Amino acid sequence: MSDEAKPTVAKARLELEEARERAKFEKYRPRTLEQKLGYLIEECGEVLAAVGKSLRWGLGGFNPELPYGQRELNGDWIQRELADLERALSLVKDALNVQGYPARKAKP
């Protein structure tokens, strides 16, 4: 077995963390169009919060109210919320497509 193919503790931890993240998202995954639109609104708000705090306190700032293990830099927070927003956008676009939107316009 090559060194690259050998499992490492760090790799195993990363895979476990990714599996936990997928399981968490699956548990709360929006299923209906209404739920998906709600998720989109929620993520838009979270992006606004992260950008607003970053403008006030800087990209390198962080929320001092969070415990040490949960702190993240505001710039990282924006990146995380943008990834969430992209996922929400994708879900809503797909759901709208399934429902026939954008609707075909009748030709004059």
By CB under 5 A, name the binding residues for Mg ion.
Answer: 46, 81, 84
Of the pair 74, 84, the CB lying nearest Mg ion is at: 84
CB 28 within 8 A of CB 70: no
Of the pair 84, 95, the CB lying nearest Mg ion is at: 84
Rounded-to-integer distance, Cα 15 and Cα 95, Å: 29
Task: Return the residue nearest Mg ion (CB atom).
Answer: 84
Of the pair 81, 95, the CB lying nearest Mg ion is at: 81
Write down the least CB distance from residue 38 to Mg ion, Å: 13
Write down the least CB distance from residue 106 to Mg ion, Å: 39
Rounded-to-integer distance, Cα 4 and Cα 104, Å: 51
What would you measure as the largest C-alpha separation in the chain, in angstroms?
A: 67
Write down the least CB distance from residue 108 to Mg ion, Å: 43
CB 84 within 8 A of CB 43: yes
